[in-house]
Every structure is written in structure tokens, then in C-alpha cells.
Structure 1
């Protein structure tokens, strides 16, 4: 059997597909943006809760009257965003819990991934992930909301131009 080869830019193509799915949803922009923000927020809680946050997508979508499909898209795209926030979550959590970051960094990164390291740093990481998740979800809500408004406005303008020229 031949090994599966990945085309250059396949991650880009998958992200673009999720972006187009989000833009073409047939619901109110606030409902879609709310779902996306919920998915992004819950992705920030996935690592500290060891994946349990995934099961909160559907209940949170129902409680906040958001689109479950856009919450799933936000959750998937959030995986790529989360990579840039790993250290920042830990840093913010240490500031909030009043622990010295310099003491923790001197121990080393390898200590962070041991059972003792998770016990010592888990609360700080969870608190930092929660705070940063709320901030990123808030920003992503407005970004997606205005992106949808703009996309639909442009689509409507193109439709008007098409019918005016005929």
C-alpha cells in the first residue's frame, strides 16, 4: 500500500472550507457568531479539562440559543488558535493566582508535563485558559458578527448589480 500523501496547503484548504461553511449559514448573524464564540471558548477549556469540554458544546448552544454547527466550527478553528495561547494561558493564570512565573520557568518545561507538574500548575493553567478563552470568545463574536454582516451586504450588492444590468 502506498502511503497517504498530503497536498501542500491541505490545512489551509480545510480552514477555508470551514470559513465558507460559516459564511453561508442561513441563520441570524448574532446566532451564528454566538455559537462560534461558544465553540472557541470551550476549545480553550479542552486542554485543562482533558477533553471533557467537548461534551459541553451542545448544552451551551442550547442554553445560549446559539448555532450548534457554528459552535463546532469555532471549536475546530479554536484548535489552531489555542496553539498560540499555551504559554500565555499559563502566564495569565500565574498572575491571577499570584505565583511567581520566574520560579516556575527555572524548573523547566519537562517538569510541566509530569503528574507533579500538572498538580502544581493545573489550577493556574485552567484559570488562565478560562480568562483568555473569555477574551478570545468576546473578540471572535464581534469579528464573526461583522464579517457575516459584511459578507451578506456584499452578496446583496452583487445581486442588485446583476439584476440592474440585465
Structure 2
């Protein structure tokens, strides 16, 4: 697992494009992942228009999406709590003709979606600047290394 995580980080760092575009893509993927599970995976399709509109990088968005999958379980508890704080106390989903447990499950999913949208946006904003600065530092080091290698001795 450690080796795989290191490989994904290396892929992110070497993605073509400006540091801001790569960081935007990573943040978009991370934010979208925070509410994908309760929507049965359909939120994944939001990555494509968001990456296009915000001019991010698709490869880094997919890496951010994978990173979000790795941290989703601990964050899901927070998502559910935030959903409870934002939605009214008496708010429940109730459809006639389906079992009570299914109505309850849909209410929990709604809390997860609302909390996931808020937490995903906060996580995306928190991760954007460190990823961008890390990429700029890495790109600067690579440029310097190449410049030194090209210099005649």
C-alpha cells in the first residue's frame, strides 16, 4: 500500500500542465469523491464537466478521486454529522409504499450527500494550495537539475 501511494504521488507530481491546473484537477476529484458513495457512483460523472469548466487536469482529478476513496470512511462520519447540522431536525425522507428501513436509509444518504458536498469543498480548498506549492517546488527543482546537466563543463 505504501508503495502504491508513493507511485500515485509520483504520477501526480509528473502530470503535464501548470501547477495550478494539476492542483485544480486534484481538488475537483477529491471534492467529488466525498459525495459519490451515497449517490451510487453517479457523482463520478460530475468530474468531467467540472474539470472542463475550471480548466483542471483530468489525470490529476482521477488521482484526487482515488485519494478521496482512501480517506472516505473516516470522513464519512464527519459528512453525516455535518449533514445533521445543516438539515432540519425533523427532516426525514418518507415515500409511501416502501419499507420504513428504506426511507431511513435514504434519509441517512441525504445527510451524507449534503455533508459530503460541504466537507468535500472544504477539503478541496485545503488541499489546493499545498498541492500547488509542492508541484511548483518539484517543477523548479527539475528545471534546475536539467539546466545544470545542459551546462558545458
Flag whether TM exceeds 0.5 (same fold).
yes
Offset of residue 158 of structure 1: 3.5
Counterpart CA distance in 1 for 2:76 and 2:16 is 34
Counterpart CA distance in 2 for 1:75 and 1:120 is 25
**TM-score normalized by the length of structure 2:** 0.83
Match of 1:136 among 110, 116, 123: 123
**TM-score normalized by the length of structure 1:** 0.77
Q: Is structure 2 residue 7 aligned with structure 1 residue 20?
A: no
Q: Secondary structure of the residue that 2:16 maps to in structure 1?
A: coil
Contact 1:43–1:79 under 8 Å retained in 2: yes
Match of 1:118 among 97, 101, 105: 105
Structure 2 counterparts to residues 93-112 of structure 1, below 5 A: 93-99=83-89
Contact 1:48–1:129 under 8 Å retained in 2: no
Offset of residue 27 of structure 1: 0.6
Q: Report the equivalent of 2:139.
A: 152
Where does structure 1 lack aligned partners over 5 or more consecutive residues?
1-10, 101-113
Counterpart CA distance in 2 for 1:122 and 1:99 is 15
Count matched residues.
143
Q: Report the equivalent of 1:50.
A: 40
CA RMSD of aligned residues (A): 2.0
Where does structure 2 lack aligned partners over 5 or more consecutive residues?
91-100
Offset of residue 80 of structure 1: 0.7
